[in-house]
Structure 1
Amino acid sequence: MTATTKTKPTDEFRDHISTVDAEGKRVWVYPKKPQGKLYKYRSWVSYTLLAFLFAGPFIKMNGLPLLMLNVVERKFVIFGVLFWPQDFFIMVLAFLAMMVFIILFTVVYGRLFCGWVCPQTIFLEMVFRRVEYAIEGDYTRQKALNKMPWNTEKILKKGAKTTVFLLISFVIANTFLAYIIGIDALKAIVTDNPVNHLGGFGALLAFTGVFYWVFAYFREQVCTIACPYGRLQGVMLDKKSMAIAYDYVRGEPRGKLRKGQQRTQGDCIDCNQCVQVCPTGIDIRNGAQQLECINCTACIDACNNIMRMIEKPEGLIRYDSEEGIAEGKKWMLFTPRVMSYSAILVLLVAALSTLLLTRDDAEATILRTPGQLYQKTEAGTIKNLYNISVINKTNAEMPLTLKLLSQEGAIKVIGNDLILPAQGIAEGVFFTEIPKSQLHGMNSKIEIGVYHGNELITKQETKFLAPAK
């Protein structure tokens, strides 16, 4: 009997992507409809996230949207907390913490996010492809439909699919826009005359077109070509990272299963079911951590179904690390690399939490009025004129009062009282009057407190101009 060898697949597949042929033309992917335990779990996760996504614009915390990223007005609401451009340093720190978390998560779990949580995967696999399966049938029927000449059946099916795709894209576009401008502004665009909201209506149509193009045509190319997260996998993953991997030690050499045959090959019967269900058109048996693999688990379900049919153990394709497949080592969560990233993440989160907890509800800018000198009074005091601008970071209106904190003296607001509108800005002019004995030099530092009732909401240092002693 000749000995069989178990060899690792070659890396030739890494020289090209699966959806482009030798001439550089697009290879259209027709994945078989997946079935299995993991696909069912993914469906539950996906529909939960979709429900949260579409309900999100209607959920409010502290009178503010749960999430709003209004780039136009430079207002950002995250979990009911309003952020302005003045909070840029907090946003930068939050971005750094998020990046470190993404790196840490990827180092440990690979592309788990791509397969289970990514909006592109959820919409394409759980919404648009399901519509496609319902209207055009499974992958063999789709191929046949695309090859047949235009007739009544093809026109009806293609027309129905396009109509449903456009409607879904329009709903997604409305939701996307709601996260940018807020649900109230979106309602005005939808219910009012479009002529009064040409910009918003144009944005809706543009987003609808983009989403339709992405999910009807570009599809898996987003993950393979456009997504920066997918392209960074090569520098974040290592042999200890978890991935969907084919156990070539157990499966090779592969060979067809024949009735009555005394089998000497590995457990892989070369049925190609794992290839047929792959939404990016790869062969997972070529190796783990392939460029196109989004860890969607479709190949795991397909392989497990076959293993049960031929009475072999499940897990020929499974979640594991390259090291685990090659050396049989148990996957480890805590490695030196993981602990290093974790320490950095803890420090960043601690700093971010401190900044958020100590963040003022309002932020004031107080400057001496340009071109104005000091004024002497008969009572022996010195007066300076100031401009004040206050930004409200809450959803509540706040009447403001100003008090001098650093010296004895008085503040008198010129004109109307300072009323800070919710999510708005209040500006005013005021005199600060300080006894000359309290001042030291021509430019003295003073500190002014901004109060809402008896609560100090913020304070600001500025300069006070006085005559030389």
Structure 2
Amino acid sequence: MSDIKEEEIVRGVGGQGQVLDPETYRDSIGTMDQSGKRKWVYPKKPKGKFTNYRNIVSYILLIVYFSIPFIKINGNPLLLINVLDREFFILGQPFYPQDFFILTLGAIASIIFILVFTIAYGRIFCGWICPQTIFMEMIFRKIEYAIEGDRNKQMKLDRQAWNTEKIWKRTLKWSIYITISLIITHFMFMYVVGYKQVFQIISEGPFANPTNFMVMILFTAAFYFVFAWFREQVCTLVCPYGRLQGVLIDKETINVFYDFKRGENRAKWRKGEDRKAAGKGDCIDCHQCVVVCPTGIDIRDGQQLECVNCTACIDACDEVMEKVGLPKGLIRYATENEIEKQIPFKFTARMKGFAIVLALLVGFLGYLLYNRGEMEAKFIKPAGSTFFVRDGKITNTYNYTFLNKTNEKKVVTIKVIEPKNGEITYSASSKITVDRDKITKGTINISFPESEMNLSKQNITIGVYDSNGKLVDSYQTYFEGPFKLQF
């Protein structure tokens, strides 16, 4: 929230401006009264250019959300985060616990991106992309409008006794809410265990999978609670992003702002009146920007924690301005400096610094992903095993483990890289087949001439080669032999 200065926001009362008291201004949450009791928000159904754009963005994201679990790349899920079975797929590429450092860097890059984005564009994410906003405003709220009507009808229905009309409307609405919450939960689980597993759980029934069934019921109940009752309080009381913006945004950040220099002093509209000559601003105090707000705030009071930049107030105000013949944009996307000092938006040094760090991180992350390796190989001596000597050769046994990280089957062979005169005896075929995204295990023996082993424990390097002779991974371990005195 901006500091109150000599250009303070004023509230018009019958055309007379009244400066807000800085000691009491916004000393409570907008959706609660002084006693702590919740004030229910009945937002008017928005309409306009930005609402249409938001609808398009939301529908695209909803299609993406409900489609991703069924999309596969090279036979792998597009996105799967199975923590229980340690199966992770991102863009069809398998990731393993060994690759978590890459995912950690990705998480850091994402956080820096959020910082840069918020510093430049405020809470546009909250109003346009946030799942809470999309599900609430584009699904649950639209169902509410369809069943109970717009703002005034909802308020009337809420006040009236529990008669036949109220019972069937509320029962229908809540039943649909539960159904949609159940659908959202099932699709969320598809991101964890895959759609086939979810369909299998459904077909087997709750008694065959009691734990999974209870977890789904709990998540369904949580979604229903959030979208049927908790609603905007997720954004105002729970989500930390609103608090974060108070640290990140400044006078150069783009946000939804009310142009108080143009709008004040606000006063009711009178046809044919010269408002400028009468000392009145363009705001006609119609409160349409207030009644459409899904978090119940008055954008004219300045930047506030509850504002999610949903643009409903912009559309409502532009519609009124058009009707009374005044210029649009009284409420618009702007920076505080643009409103106060008519300074256009520009990228600050802080924005550029964060953007440079982000670009470096993304570049390094891309390098790690590109050089992640096709295969991971390990050669471990079995516990308690030792060497044996036969026909002038010292032999050690190793258990190998190959992890194929690619989306294609690999046929590999093993060679000793250093020292170069090592011989390998396989427990099976010398050509080892490793299926894609699979682990293959086996045993080999490595032998060296006894005359060439001068140390009781010597480092060796073992290489794994594909069918084209390309080295796909190497592993350094040790080779044991008899103790020899050194003179």
> What TM-score results when the alignment is normalised by the length of structure 2?
0.90
For 2:237 and 2:210, how far apart are their aligned partners in 1? 33
Letter in 1 for 2:381: R
For 1:336 and 1:130, how far apart are their aligned partners in 2? 42
SS at 2:441's partner residue?
A: strand
Q: Which deviates further from its counterpart, 261-270 or 449-458? A: 449-458
Query: 1:467 offset after TM fit, Å?
Result: 2.9
Alignment of 1:147-296 (within 5 A): 147-263=159-275, 264-288=279-303, 290-296=304-310
Letter in 2 for 1:279: P
Q: 1:185 to 1:398 in 2, by over 3 A?
A: farther
Aligned residue among 112, 115, 118 for 2:130: 118
Paired residues of 1:7 and 1:252 also in contact (CA < 8 A): no
Paired residues of 1:6 and 1:252 also in contact (CA < 8 A): no
For 1:281 and 1:50, how far apart are their aligned partners in 2? 26
The residue that corresponds to 1:459 in the other structure is: 474
Query: 1:421 offset after TM fit, Å?
Result: 4.2
Q: What is the aligned-residue RMSD (CA, Å)?
A: 1.9
For 1:447 and 1:139, how far apart are their aligned partners in 2? 74
SS at 1:348's partner residue?
A: helix
SS at 1:255's partner residue?
A: coil
For 2:188 and 2:354, how far apart are their aligned partners in 1? 33
Letter in 2 for 1:430: I
Query: 1:428 offset after TM fit, Å?
Result: 2.5
Aligned residue among 441, 451, 472 for 1:427: 441
The residue that corresponds to 1:29 in the other structure is: 41
Q: Is 1:404 equivalent to 2:416 in the alignment? A: yes
The residue that corresponds to 1:300 in the other structure is: 314
SS at 2:403's partner residue?
A: strand
SS at 1:196's partner residue?
A: coil
Q: Is 1:100 equivalent to 2:115 in the alignment? A: no
Q: Which deviates further from its counterpart, 380-389 or 396-405? A: 396-405
Query: 1:250 offset after TM fit, Å?
Result: 0.7
Deviations 1:85-134 (A, max 9, x none): 11011111111111111111111111111111111111100110000000
Q: Is 1:357 equivalent to 2:358 in the alignment? A: no
For 2:191 and 2:36, how far apart are their aligned partners in 1? 38
Q: Which deviates further from its counterpart, 417-426 or 351-360? A: 417-426
Deviations 1:19-74 (A, max 9, x none): 12111122111101001111011101110111111111111112111111111112
SS at 1:165's partner residue?
A: helix
Letter in 1 for 2:165: E
Deviations 1:355-413 (A, max 9, x none): 111111222232222222222222x3221122222333234444443221222212233
For 1:403 and 1:69, how far apart are their aligned partners in 2? 36
Paired residues of 1:245 and 1:317 also in contact (CA < 8 A): yes
Letter in 2 for 1:451: Y
Letter in 2 for 1:229: Y
For 1:103 and 1:57, how far apart are their aligned partners in 2? 29
Structure 2 regions of 5+ residues with no counterpart?
A: 1-5, 11-19
SS at 2:446's partner residue?
A: strand
The residue that corresponds to 1:330 in the other structure is: 344
Identical counterparts, % of pairs: 46
Structure 1 regions of 5+ residues with no counterpart?
A: none
The residue that corresponds to 1:53 in the other structure is: 65
The residue that corresponds to 1:383 in the other structure is: 395
Query: 1:6 offset after TM fit, Å?
Result: 5.8
For 1:435 and 1:231, how far apart are their aligned partners in 2? 69
Q: 1:223 to 1:360 in 2, by over 3 A?
A: same
Letter in 2 for 1:116: W
Q: Give the length in aligned residue pairs.
A: 462
Letter in 2 for 1:292: E
Q: Is 1:132 equivalent to 2:144 in the alignment? A: yes
Query: 1:202 offset after TM fit, Å?
Result: 2.6
Aligned residue among 337, 343, 349 for 2:356: 343
Q: 1:277 to 1:89 in 2, by over 3 A?
A: same
Q: 1:205 to 1:416 in 2, by over 3 A?
A: farther
For 1:58 and 1:312, how far apart are their aligned partners in 2? 50
Deviations 1:430-467 (A, max 9, x none): 22212345545333221112334334332211122223
Paired residues of 1:57 and 1:175 also in contact (CA < 8 A): yes
Query: 1:199 offset after TM fit, Å?
Result: 2.9
For 1:220 and 1:440, how far apart are their aligned partners in 2? 74
